Chain A
Amino acid sequence: MAPPPSDVKLLGYRPSPFVNRVQFALNLKSVDYEFIPENVMAKSELLLKSNPVYKKIPVLIHGDKPICESLVIVQYIDETWSDGPSILPSHPYDRSTARFWAAYIDDKWYPALRSLADATEESSKAAILEKILEGVILLEDAFVKCSNGNGFFGGDKLGYLDLVLGCYLGWLKVSEVNSDVKILDETKTPALVGWAERFKSHEAVKGTLPEADELLQLLRNMQAAANVEASK
């Protein structure tokens, strides 16, 4: 039984992939929600009260109950709006596989991707890039196994892993542009390349996932602001 949709709030920040993945989940379940943008440099009282442990977005507030940590939130959404399309697989073994890859993506792969931007020396940059590329080969293999001939990690519809990896696609493109490198490659990861296009054009994703151009502009603005501060 779906609860009334109007009492769902999402504290977030549009460029954050962790916020985006929660939005995809809400969109998949057709849940109306109020997006409350947070200024990550000046956190609101509501955020500090709702997430006292980490003080971070995203926070989903359902009624007056806050739920924190994006993967916890996605599972909450899946279990609460149970009459919508399911996000996690139903079989326990498939669920454990989805959780395994989600942990790999969030704890190993994405931190490597992020660290590429901060790498200054060519040798460390090369080492990080090797890790990222090894990772996408693993993810290509995982995709082939999970999709079972269909278009998404979730099979013929978007599932948990699609949201977990898909939310990073904007920033992945930014990394490719900034480091002048191809991470998803038609020759090495053809299945993921196809998946990425399908994911980005899905109705639950389009309009919510920021385009790489928007993120690049954001980075340039942040860099310009930092330069102004530094020269004061």
Chain B
Amino acid sequence: MAGVDKVVLLDFKVSMFGMRCRVALAEKGIQYEYREEDLRNKSPLLLEMNPIHKKIPVLIHNGKPVCESAIIVQYIDEVWHDKNPFLPSDPYQRAQARFWVDLIDKKAYDAGRRVWTKKGEEQEKAKKEFLELYKTLEGELGDKPYFGGEKFGLVDVALIPFYCWFYAYETCGNFKMEAECSKLVAWGKRCMERESVAKSLVDPKEVYEFVLHMKKVFGIE
């Protein structure tokens, strides 16, 4: 392979979607330049590289942008395919992994957001839906060490960033993930033993501080 790959990640520290990319890059041992974006004042580079959505994360590989975190993670897996593959080779198992990543993409962010932005009855409803989602995911995990089975895989990469947001969700929603989804919490701790995860996820207390700040900004008490 001629030349050296130049990889840049436009990101935002507490974003779970950004964390997915950090985990993926670390799993593959890829050197990259991390650039923190101020989401209230987006850089010209971000607006140029993601003109349609104007969102992070964006991976810039040798000058060419890849957008949308699930797409970025699959791209990383396909380009740097020799090390720590995130997907098995069997098409059916690959389909299963993609199905669960798609489910997480459709539901996890909004379910969590409703827990910390709502109050009273609306929050109770949000909590119920949040826990239903995570219990479904816990059911899919079963007794496997990872969603990928013996290997840390695509679904693990997609979901693990939400683990560092659990403390914020629990505190705002007044419940404990350990009590509701103990297997999933155990899975989270297991993933945190991987260096790629430990150095990519943000301290839960810092996430919580961010959530408190955003509640002030939105005027939610």
Q: Are A103 and B68 in contact (CB under 8 A)?
A: yes
Chain B residue contacts of A104, Cβ below 8 A = 52
Known: A71-B98, A75-B98, A92-B79. 12 other contacts (CB 8 A): A67-B95, A68-B99, A69-B98, A71-B102, A72-B102, A76-B95, A80-B92, A93-B66, A96-B72, A99-B71, A100-B66, A100-B67
Chain A residue contacts of B75, Cβ below 8 A = 92-93, 95-96
Bound together, the chains give a CA A79 to CA B79 distance in angstroms of 17
Interface of chain A residues 53 through 90 with chain B (CB within 8 A) = 53, 62, 65, 67-69, 71-73, 75-76, 79-80
The smallest C-beta distance from A18 to any residue of chain B, in angstroms, reads 13
Q: Is B64 an interface residue (CB 8 A)?
A: yes
Q: Is B94 an interface residue (CB 8 A)?
A: yes
Bound together, the chains give a CA A80 to CA B102 distance in angstroms of 20
**B91 interface neighbour in A53, A71, A76, A93, Cβ under 8 Å:** A76
Between-chain CB contacts (< 8 Å), 23 pairs: A53-B103, A53-B136, A67-B95, A68-B99, A69-B99, A71-B98, A72-B98, A75-B94, A75-B95, A76-B94, A76-B95, A80-B91, A93-B75, A95-B74, A96-B66, A96-B71, A96-B75, A99-B68, A99-B71, A100-B66, A100-B68, A100-B71, A104-B52
Q: Are A92 and B78 in contact (CB under 8 A)?
A: yes
Q: Are B71 and A72 in contact (CB under 8 A)?
A: no
Minimum CB distance partner of A78 in chain B:
B91
**Interface residues as binary, B175-217 with A (CB distance below 8 Å gives 1, 0 otherwise):** 0000000000000000000000000000000000000000000
Bound together, the chains give a CA A80 to CA B94 distance in angstroms of 11
Interface size for B (C-beta < 8 A) is 21
Q: Is A138 an interface residue (CB 8 A)?
A: yes
Bound together, the chains give a CA A53 to CA B99 distance in angstroms of 10
Bound together, the chains give a CA A223 to CA B94 distance in angstroms of 41
The smallest C-beta distance from A131 to any residue of chain B, in angstroms, reads 12
Interface of chain A residues 87 through 128 with chain B (CB within 8 A) = 92-93, 95-96, 99-100, 103-104
Chain A residue contacts of B68, Cβ below 8 A = 99-100, 103
* Interface positions of A (Cβ within 8 A of B): 53, 62, 65, 67-69, 71-73, 75-76, 79-80, 92-93, 95-96, 99-100, 103-104, 138
**Interface residues as binary, B82-95 with A (CB distance below 8 Å gives 1, 0 otherwise):** 00000000011011
The A interface is mostly helix, strand or loop, or mixed, namely helix
Q: Are B92 and A76 in contact (CB under 8 A)?
A: yes
Chain A residue contacts of B67, Cβ below 8 A = 100
Chain B residue contacts of A73, Cβ below 8 A = 95
Q: Are B52 and A138 in contact (CB under 8 A)?
A: yes
Chain B residue contacts of A76, Cβ below 8 A = 91-92, 94-95
Bound together, the chains give a CA A170 to CA B190 distance in angstroms of 49
Q: Are A96 and B94 in contact (CB under 8 A)?
A: no
Chain B residue contacts of A71, Cβ below 8 A = 98, 102
**A79 interface neighbour in B64, B91, B136, Cβ under 8 Å:** B91
Bound together, the chains give a CA A181 to CA B91 distance in angstroms of 42
Q: Are B71 and A103 in contact (CB under 8 A)?
A: yes
Bound together, the chains give a CA A73 to CA B102 distance in angstroms of 12
Which of B92, B94, B95 is most buried by chain A, counting CB atoms within 10 A of its CB? B95
Bound together, the chains give a CA A76 to CA B98 distance in angstroms of 10
Bound together, the chains give a CA A48 to CA B52 distance in angstroms of 37
Chain A residue contacts of B92, Cβ below 8 A = 62, 65, 67, 76, 80
Bound together, the chains give a CA A121 to CA B75 distance in angstroms of 43
Chain B residue contacts of A75, Cβ below 8 A = 94-95, 98
Which of A69, A72, A80 is most buried by chain B, counting CB atoms within 10 A of its CB? A72
Minimum CB distance partner of A104 in chain B:
B52
Chain B residue contacts of A95, Cβ below 8 A = 74-75, 78
Chain B residue contacts of A53, Cβ below 8 A = 103, 136
- Please name the 7 residue pairs, one residue from A and one from B, whose CB atoms are nearest each other, closest first: A92-B78, A79-B91, A76-B95, A96-B75, A80-B91, A72-B98, A99-B71
Minimum CB distance partner of B91 in chain A:
A79
Q: Are A79 and B99 in contact (CB under 8 A)?
A: no
Chain A residue contacts of B52, Cβ below 8 A = 104, 138
Chain B residue contacts of A68, Cβ below 8 A = 99
Interface of chain B residues 54 through 80 with chain A (CB within 8 A) = 61, 64, 66-68, 71-72, 74-75, 78-79
